[in-house]
């Protein structure tokens, strides 16, 4: 009785994985990051070439979220906690500027265009997002996760996610009640800080116990299963405390990176990540609806103009954050460019605004255009800037 559902899922996975690898190969042959090819593969699937493929499929969405969690867990495994703590104040400055400037630019633009305060707040909030997954994947593809600029960007992106959850909490409060709940904002902030602090303090003790137990066990695959269980538990705990799952997964990776099993975990994790992570990037690309951006339809032109303005402000607002860095010899432009991609985070803000009725479909379409453009441009710009 479940055969049609299973067949449909297998067909979708076949289309997703093949398109990811084929277009990823083409991208690398053109000297571009593989993630860009995976995004393009998703756009091609979104054209409707395969009637069985549906970008809004709930099962595929869940698999994509698993891919994000694994990506951030792998990023944490390959991150140096001492280096992250060393650049912590710098990352905080980058994240703060990278949130404040885009919000003010977005709010100011919408106010100048005559939109209401609620709409201006939603657009400003959507511009503040940063998708750490996109940047982390590009840096990993380039083998540059260990450079100081990468550590600053990753640290800033994690802080940006925490700030994003705080802003999202405020935005949800506005959408639900029409007023801003400062108590909810303060509660979300404190919970996020407490989670990170407690995780980095208690986590090493938990991971040491886990490694000792693994050493005594003989069953096949116990190391990677134990590591994934730890990552999933941290992700669930983070969500339960009101912050993002990806923050919990990233923290789990950082904690396990301090154990003597770091290289073993990284080696066994890669094949699993190679299966799930491309699903996320293909699904992001598949949500692009190119027909809505056709300039030959007069009703689309005002929206396209707004989308273009949002794209420019979205890029400027994040690039300037690189100049919040102090110290010599750092690629400030590279740091700013690394903060550009909005990815799934920006889409969440737009979807909340649309579902609550605060923003209409044309405005939602313009925001989606901004998210897609920054997601596609960031890998190209980041590779060019860091190579220099």
Q: CATH no. for residue 358?
A: 1.20.1530.20
Give the mean model confidence (pLDDT) for residues 371-379.
Answer: 82
Checking if the pLDDT of 233 tops 90, the result is: yes
Fill in the DSSP letter of residue 79.
S
Residue 45 lies in a domain: no
Residue 22 lies in a domain: no
| Residue ranges making up the domain that contains 76 | 68-277+302-387
Instruction: State which of 10-24, 280-294, 368-382 shows the largest mean pLDDT.
Output: 10-24
Over pLDDT 90: what percentage of the chain? 21
Q: According to the model, what pLDDT value does residue 3 have?
A: 45
81 touches 257 (CB < 8 A): yes
Residue-wise pLDDT for 111-120, tens only, equals 999 887 778 8
pLDDT higher at 134 or 275: 275
Residue 284 lies in a domain: no
Q: According to the model, what pLDDT value does residue 188 have?
A: 64
CA proximity to 110, closest of 363, 351, 292, 320 = 363
Residue 116 lies in a domain: yes
Q: According to the model, what pLDDT value does residue 369 have?
A: 85
Residue 82 lies in a domain: yes
Rounded to an integer, what distance in angstroms lies between the CA atom of residue 175 and that of residue 120?
Answer: 13
Residue 234 lies in a domain: yes
Residue 366 lies in a domain: yes
Checking if the pLDDT of 181 tops 70, the result is: no
Q: According to the model, what pLDDT value does residue 182 have?
A: 64
pLDDT band at 2 (very low <50, low <70, confident <90, very high): very low
Give the mean model confidence (pLDDT) for residues 244-268.
Answer: 86
* Non-local CB neighbours of 299 within 8 Å, separated by 6+ positions: none
Give the mean model confidence (pLDDT) for residues 174-180.
Answer: 62
State the sign of the Cα–Cα–Cα–Cα dihedral 368, 334, 246, 73: positive
Q: According to the model, what pLDDT value does residue 197 have?
A: 78
* Non-local CB neighbours of 4 within 8 Å, separated by 6+ positions: none
How far is Cα of residue 37 from the mean position of the Cα atoms in its chain? 17
Q: According to the model, what pLDDT value does residue 39 have?
A: 81
CA proximity to 318, closest of 338, 288, 347, 300 = 338
pLDDT higher at 37 or 242: 37
Residue-wise pLDDT for 327-336, tens only, equals 777 888 888 9
pLDDT band at 269 (very low <50, low <70, confident <90, very high): very high
CA proximity to 254, closest of 104, 151, 355, 385 = 151
Rounded to an integer, what distance in angstroms lies between the CA atom of residue 293 and that of residue 299?
Answer: 10
Give the mean model confidence (pLDDT) for residues 311-322.
Answer: 94
Rounded to an integer, what distance in angstroms lies between the CA atom of residue 99 and that of residue 167?
Answer: 10
Residue with the two structure tokens 């001492």: 82
pTM for the full predicted model: 0.73
Q: According to the model, what pLDDT value does residue 385 have?
A: 84
* Mean pLDDT over the full length of the chain: 82
Residue 189 lies in a domain: yes
Checking if the pLDDT of 88 tops 50, the result is: yes
Give the mean model confidence (pLDDT) for residues 328-346.
Answer: 81
Split into its structural domains, the chain has a count of 1
Q: Out of 181-190, 213-222, 239-248, which region has the weakest mean confidence (pLDDT)?
A: 181-190
pLDDT band at 170 (very low <50, low <70, confident <90, very high): low
Give the mean model confidence (pLDDT) for residues 207-225.
Answer: 85
Q: According to the model, what pLDDT value does residue 48 have?
A: 78
- CA distance between the termini of the chain: 57
Q: According to the model, what pLDDT value does residue 1 have?
A: 39
């Amino acid at each position: 009785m479940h055969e049609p559902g299973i067949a449909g899922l297998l067909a979708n996975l076949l289309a997703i994985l093949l398109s990811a690898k084929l277009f990823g190969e083409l991208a690398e042959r053109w000297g571009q990051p593989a993630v860009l090819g995976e995004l393009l593969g998703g756009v091609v699937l979104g054209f409707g070439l395969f009637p069985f493929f549906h970008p809004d499929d709930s099962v595929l969405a869940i698999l994509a979220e698993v891919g994000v969690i694994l990506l951030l867990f792998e990023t944490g495994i390959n991150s140096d906690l001492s280096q992250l703590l060393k650049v912590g104040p710098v990352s905080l400055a980058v994240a703060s500027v990278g949130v404040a400037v885009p919000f003010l630019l977005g709010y100011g633009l919408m106010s100048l265009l005559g939109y209401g305060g609620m709409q201006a707040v939603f657009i400003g909030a959507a511009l503040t997002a940063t998708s750490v997954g996109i940047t982390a994947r590009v840096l990993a593809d380039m083998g540059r996760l260990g450079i100081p600029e990468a550590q600053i960007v990753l640290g800033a992106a994690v802080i940006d996610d925490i700030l994003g959850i705080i802003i999202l909490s405020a935005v949800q409060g506005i959408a639900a009640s029409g007023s801003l709940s400062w108590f909810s904002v303060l509660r979300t902030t404190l919970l996020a800080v407490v989670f990170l602090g407690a995780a980095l303090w208690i986590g090493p003790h938990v991971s040491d116990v886990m490694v000792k137990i693994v050493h005594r066990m003989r069953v096949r695959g116990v190391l990677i299963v134990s590591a994934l269980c730890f990552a999933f538990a941290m992700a669930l705990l983070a969500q339960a405390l009101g912050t993002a799952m990806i923050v919990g997964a990233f923290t789990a990776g950082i904690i396990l990176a301090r154990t003597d099993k770091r290289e073993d975990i990284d080696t066994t994790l890669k094949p699993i990540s190679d299966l799930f992570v491309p699903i996320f990037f293909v699904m992001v690309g598949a949500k692009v609806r190119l027909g809505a951006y056709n300039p030959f339809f007069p009703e689309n032109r005002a929206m396209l103009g707004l989308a273009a303005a949002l794209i420019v402000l979205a890029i400027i607002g994040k690039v300037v954050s690189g100049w919040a860095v102090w110290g010599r010899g750092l690629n400030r432009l590279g740091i700013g460019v690394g903060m550009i991609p909005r990815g799934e985070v920006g889409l969440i803000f737009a979807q909340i605004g649309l579902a609550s009725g605060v923003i209409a479909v044309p405005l939602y379409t313009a925001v989606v255009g901004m998210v897609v453009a920054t997601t596609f441009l960031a890998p190209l710009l980041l590779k060019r800037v860091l190579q220099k």
